[in-house]
């Protein structure tokens, strides 16, 4: 196939969008709602992950060592803990340190009688990379000789993680369902264009246009619809996101991801999704017509 | 002389059970001008459709331009069609395009370079005498002019064969002669011309080969002048007489001699 005729076919595709503007607007709107909903779900999920991370960072997990562990042994245990997968950092927290901390917290009077006996064990403060793997990581750490027990990690982090998982599953479902709806609506739009242009299609075929050539304007039409929807969705996301974040921050303070940080990411994903859905719609809807010949195309 | 279209024992039965062509054989040579006549439903359009690969034969072999059309792969069909230009009875012009764009459309649809379109279209419009109407829309033209645009579109990709399906069916008699005249002129340049028609006035006026199709068979194939008036009015039963009424005289054959 020669590339020389492409300019013309692309122009025809863009013209299709304009000539069929009512249906095009409808398609763009449907695609926008799909993209915005999907985008919201993804951004929500990203924010939750962000919160979990910051909460998780504050709530280090404490690994308590056995009472009779010597300082040298403790160093070795610390190395073993660091070797466990999912552990990013292990900081030694000596019993003296813990003792001082408690003294500050509870008041010196409580500890006056036990100057020489420190009831607290040595410990390591560890951070995990992925809190959802908390249970299996803890199991591995507990298996290390000299480890007594591991404190349970923050309940908030646990809950947030499970919410995040739920949102992730939901967003996959949303992407799937809305993707199919968009595909359906856009391919119907293109089919309407095709119906109005069936005469031209029949002539193209009778003068010997290849299927690829007949197809291009309709695929371009789909892509243009996809692109317009992607641009408008990004703009809509910008306003929606900042607005919603502001409202939520008023209710609960949380470290929101600023939109500027994800703007390009959002625009990129929207463009990709819009173009893909559009092109696919064009491809699907023309298939039926390509199999027909002559007057069949015209429905005579 | 090379064969350009060859039907060998071709039959076509539609899924509905209609027998459109019945063991038909015919050969058309490069550069010929052939009228195809017959009552409606005789199998003429099936004949044309099979040349264009809009229909494939149930039995038999069709060779067009050296290619076996009956076994042709789908993706090769567009290239077969580029070797033929089609003129329709109802012109099939795109109303929202100018005359120029209607003709250019046939070139653009097969990916011709814009520069080639720019030089070729005016040349073809000049050939059919429509240079001054290039910017008009089909609705502003007479039937004859519209048919000339349709012819220009068929010609623009320089096909080896022109297939005209009742080209004069929708235009007045004077214009009809002009169109056939134009086709003759094109024929003189070596293009093979196939004209399906009902109008025996035309057939009689131009000394060309005439093929009569009836009930899916070629019942007469002659290059003689038809001097009987009523060939078209025959009902199916009357067709047996036709053969006797065609007089066997010397072939006019101008198309054959001038072609290539």
Chain A residues in contact with B81 by the CB 8 A cut-off are 205-208
Looking at the DSSP bridge assignments, the partners of residue A62 are A125
Whether B192 and B6 have beta carbons less than 8 Å apart is answered as no
Whether A23 and A225 have beta carbons less than 8 Å apart is answered as no
d(CA A134, CA B58): 71
Q: How would residue A196 be classed by pLDDT, with cut points 50, 70 and 90?
A: confident
CATH code at position B213: 3.40.50.300
Which residues have C-beta within 8 Å of that of residue A14, sequence separation ≥ 6?
Answer: A220, A221, A224
| For B84, nearest residue in chain A (alpha carbons) | A207
Q: Strand B209-214: give its sheet, edge to edge.
A: B84-87, B161-165, B192-196, B33-37, B209-214, B217-222
Count: domains in chain B: 1
- Residue A112: the pLDDT is 65
Are B49 and A200 within 8 A, CB to CB? no
Q: Among A115-129, B170-184, B206-220, whose mean pLDDT is lowest?
A: A115-129
B198-214 tens-digit pLDDT: 888 888 888 889 999 98
Does the pLDDT of residue A249 top 90, yes or no? Answer: no
Q: Which domain holds residue B233?
A: 1-83+159-169+198-260
Cβ-nearest to B92 among A6, A203, A210: A203
| For A294, nearest residue in chain B (alpha carbons) | B54
A1-57 tens-digit pLDDT: 455 567 888 888 888 888 888 888 988 998 898 888 888 888 887 887 777 766 655
Task: Quote the tokens at residue A6.
Answer: 């492409």
Does the pLDDT of residue B81 top 90, yes or no? Answer: yes
Are A210 and B75 within 8 A, CB to CB? yes
If DSSP states are collapsed to H, E and C, what string results for B98-123? CHHHHHHHHHHCCCCCHHHHHHHHHH
d(CA A274, CA A221): 12
Cβ-nearest to B94 among A199, A213, A293: A199
Among B111, B117, B149, B154, most A C-beta atoms within 10 A, so best to mutate, is B111
Alpha-carbon gap: A216 to the closest alpha carbon of chain B (Å): 11
Which residues have C-beta within 8 Å of that of residue A252, sequence separation ≥ 6?
Answer: none
Query: A213 — contact with chain B (CB < 8 Å)?
Result: yes
Q: How would residue A113 be classed by pLDDT, with cut points 50, 70 and 90?
A: low
Cβ-nearest to B54 among A2, A203, A293: A293
Write down the ipTM of this complex: 0.80
Whether B33 and B251 have beta carbons less than 8 Å apart is answered as no
Q: How would residue B162 be classed by pLDDT, with cut points 50, 70 and 90?
A: very high
- Residue A116: the pLDDT is 63
Cβ-nearest to B78 among A6, A208, A294: A208
Chain A residues in contact with B80 by the CB 8 A cut-off are 208
CATH number for A60-153 (one of 3.30.70.3040, 2.160.10.10, 3.30.70.270, 3.40.50.300): it is 3.30.70.3040
Determine the distance from the C-alpha atom of residue A215 to the mean position of all C-alpha atoms in its chain, rounded to a whole number: 33
Alpha-carbon gap: B81 to the closest alpha carbon of chain A (Å): 5
Task: For residue B95, tell me if it sits in a domain.
Answer: no
Average pLDDT value over all residues in chain A: 81
Between B237 and B197, the higher pLDDT residue: B197
Report domain extents, chain A.
Answer: 6-54+158-298, 60-153
């Amino acid at each position: 196939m020669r590339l020389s005729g492409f300019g013309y076919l692309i122009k025809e595709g863009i013209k299709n969008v304009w000539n069929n503007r009512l249906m095009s607007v409808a398609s763009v709107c449907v695609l926008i709602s799909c993209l915005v909903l999907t985008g919201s779900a993804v951004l929500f999920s990203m924010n939750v992950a962000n919160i979990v991370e910051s909460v998780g960072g504050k709530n280090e997990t404490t690994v308590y060592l056995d009472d009779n562990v010597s300082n040298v042994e403790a160093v070795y245990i610390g190395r073993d803990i660091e070797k466990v997968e999912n552990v990013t950092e292990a900081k030694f927290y000596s019993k003296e340190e813990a003792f001082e901390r408690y003294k500050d917290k509870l008041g010196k009077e409580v500890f006056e009688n036990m100057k020489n006996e420190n009831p607290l064990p040595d410990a390591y403060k560890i951070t995990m990379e992925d809190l959802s793997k908390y249970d299996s990581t803890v199991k591995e750490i507990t298996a290390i000789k000299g480890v007594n027990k591991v404190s349970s990690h923050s309940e908030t982090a646990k809950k947030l993680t499970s919410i995040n998982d739920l949102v992730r599953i939901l967003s996959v479902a949303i992407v799937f369902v809305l993707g199919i709806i968009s595909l359906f609506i856009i391919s119907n739009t293109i089919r309407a264009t095709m119906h109005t242009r069936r005469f031209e299609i029949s002539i193209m075929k009778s003068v010997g246009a290849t299927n690829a050539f007949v197809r291009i304007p309709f695929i371009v039409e789909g892509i243009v619809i996809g692109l317009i929807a992607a641009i408008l969705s990004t703009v809509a996301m910008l306003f929606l996101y900042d607005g919603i974040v502001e409202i939520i921050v008023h209710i609960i303070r949380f470290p929101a991801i600023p939109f500027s940080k994800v703007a390009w990411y959002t625009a990129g994903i929207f463009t990709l999704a819009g173009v893909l859905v559009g092109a696919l719609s064009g491809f699907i809807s023309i298939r039926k017509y390509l199999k027909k010949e002559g007057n069949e195309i015209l429905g005579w | 002389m090379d064969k350009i279209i060859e039907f060998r024992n071709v039959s076509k039965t539609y899924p509905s059970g209609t027998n459109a062509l019945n063991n038909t054989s015919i050969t058309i040579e490069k550069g010929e001008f052939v009228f195809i006549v017959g009552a409606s439903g005789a199998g003429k359009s099936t004949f044309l459709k099979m040349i264009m690969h809009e229909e494939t034969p149930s039995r038999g072999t069709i060779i067009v331009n050296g290619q076996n059309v009956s076994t042709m792969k789908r993706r090769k069909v567009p290239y077969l069609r580029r070797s033929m230009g089609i003129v329709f009875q109802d012109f099939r012009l795109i109303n929202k395009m100018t005359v120029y764009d209607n003709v250019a459309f046939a070139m653009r649809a097969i990916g011709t370079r814009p520069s080639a379109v720019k030089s070729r279209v005016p040349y073809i419009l000049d050939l059919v005498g429509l240079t001054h109407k290039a910017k008009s829309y089909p609705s502003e033209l007479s039937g004859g002019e519209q048919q000339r645009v349709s012819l220009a579109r068929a010609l623009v990709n320089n096909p080896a064969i022109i297939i005209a399906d009742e080209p004069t069916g929708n235009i007045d008699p004077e214009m009809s002669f002009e169109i056939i005249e134009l086709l003759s002129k094109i024929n003189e340049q070596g293009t093979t011309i196939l004209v399906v028609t009902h109008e025996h006035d035309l057939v009689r006026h131009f000394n060309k080969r005439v093929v009569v199709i009836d009930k899916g068979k070629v019942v007469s194939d002659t290059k003689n002048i038809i001097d009987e008036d009523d060939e078209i009015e025959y009902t199916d039963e009357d067709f047996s007489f036709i053969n006797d009424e065609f007089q066997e005289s010397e072939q006019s054959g101008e198309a054959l001699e001038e072609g290539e």
